[in-house]
Amino acid sequence: MAHDVYHARFVVVGGGIAGVTCAETLASECPEEKVLLITASNLVKAIKNYEQTSRVLETFDVEEQPWSQLEFKSGIQVLQATVSSLAAQEKVVYTSCGKHVHYDKLCICSGGVPKMVPGNHPLVVGIRDTESVKDFQNKLDHAERVIIIGNGGIATELVYEIEGCEVIWAIKDKSIASTFVDEGAAQFFLPHLNSEKQQAHQIVKRQKFSIDRCSALGPDWAAGQCMKGVKQETSHHVFVKYEVEVSMVMSPEELAKAGLSCQTPDLFRKGNNKEEWPVYVQLTNNCVYGSDLVVSATGVTPNTLPFLPGNNFEVAEDGGLKVNENMMTSVPDVYAAGDVCSASWQLADLWFQMRLWTQARQMGCQAARCMAADIRGTTAPLDICFDLFAHVTKFFNFKVVLIGLFKAQGLGNDYELLLRVTKGEEYIKVVLHEGRLVGAILIGETDMEETFENLALNRTDLTPFKDHLLEPGIDIDDFFD
């Protein structure tokens, strides 16, 4: 039927940050052209209150809104449907509801699929968006103990926010939060694992987030939410198991059948003598722990499944669609942005890809500019945000700024570190390579992020100043007046 066939100059698949940013940028760049956004959900995620706080660092809100609002505001046509397949040679996207969408230029922004621990147990929950957070909160209401699997941003935030519940945190690394910080910063955070939560005592500049309005989790996603179990007398009770992964998730019956026994961490022995738990986790060190709930927070894999069959996409080792600096895939007229893609151009020395919501916005915007330029017969330059990795987040109620090669990634042993630590207040680490600042971790209210960003972007030789760079009370800017 005719009404089941759509055509648009630009078609974007995905109602997340990358997809909506791409569609809105296309509508702004090419107001005369038809832009069609395909989303599986009746809600989409839009950027609000965007502010460039420096050359690379930025702040914004992410707002969940009905797609009809996006149509009204931006003039973007929205089709609520699930993509079933792509016929790239014919330039047609097929949906599960039988609709056919013809395009001139297509951008795939289908995001990522949460990695889940093995077992498919009903008490194992994955946390990726607001829907899964609400599911977790409902189950946490009745929990005495939770096992959290993973060591990234979501896991780290959860460990801090959960109260009234014992937490076993199982991580595959030697230190906590290692996706984002080094072992020194992890040591800085450790005293806060089992301490009383402190209220934020000052307003800080950072990316903003509201759980009631948004589905793309980022800094502050858990702040102010009810993350409490049934043990009202318990604030923080966290036990960390290092260098382990999950071997098996079992029911009480499966535990008995396997002839395994359950351990109780020494930290918890006085507080909980529960004999049987609804779910058990066996770790690779052969320890078995019982719990009311298991949280799988081990990252995502690119959601490429509907697009690969019958098409000649080049796929990266991490499973993402390979894209060049124009965000183009290996298939003509098909672009990709966000978690679904893998940056495969010659990357800048101080930039690398992490599947973060900030990079989803940046990639979606870059893809749109390149698509718009292509129909005009021109090219769009690569944005400066791809020159230097920069990210702001918040762990254990501390502002965290990551710049460049913040963990000396790829430098081997050819670097030197400058360090300043004030216990309970700040942690500042600078990575120098050949006398130049190539990375930094800033924890706390340091107010040094813009200066360090400029030093990295400008490749300033710090050899004459490095001994004074982190001295308290020194205004770094005075060195370069």
Looking at residue 128, its pLDDT comes to 64
Looking at residue 266, its pLDDT comes to 72
Comparing C-alpha atoms, which of 105, 88, 358, 364 is closest to residue 217? Answer: 358
Which pLDDT band, with edges at 50, 70 and 90, does 330 fall under? very high
Looking at residue 209, its pLDDT comes to 34
Looking at residue 164, its pLDDT comes to 87
Q: What is the DSSP string of 259-285?
A: T---B--GGGTTT---S--SEEEEETT
pTM to 2 decimal places:
0.88
CA dist., res. 312 & res. 327, Å (int): 16
Cβ neighbours around 148 below 10 Å, total:
25
pLDDT of 228 > 70? The answer is: no
Please write the tens of the pLDDT for every residue from 261-276.
888 887 666 555 677 8
Using DSSP bridges, classify how beta strands 288-291 and 293-296 pair: parallel, antiparallel or unpaired: unpaired
Cβ neighbours around 347 below 10 Å, total:
14
Which pLDDT band, with edges at 50, 70 and 90, does 197 fall under? low
pLDDT of 200 > 50? The answer is: no
CA dist., res. 17 & res. 50, Å (int): 13
CA dist., res. 44 & res. 14, Å (int): 9
Which pLDDT band, with edges at 50, 70 and 90, does 213 fall under? very low
pLDDT of 62 > 90? The answer is: no
Comparing C-alpha atoms, which of 181, 180, 125, 131 is closest to residue 149? Answer: 125
- 182: three-class secondary structure by DSSP: coil
- Provide the mean pLDDT of the chain: 87
CA dist., res. 273 & res. 121, Å (int): 24
Please report, for residues 131, 135, 303, the alpha-carbon distance to residue 125 in angstroms, rounded to integers and kept in the order given.
11, 8, 19
Looking at residue 457, its pLDDT comes to 95
Please write the tens of the pLDDT for every residue from 289-318.
999 999 998 888 999 999 999 999 999 999
Average pLDDT over every residue of 144-159:
92
Looking at residue 90, its pLDDT comes to 97
Looking at residue 270, its pLDDT comes to 57
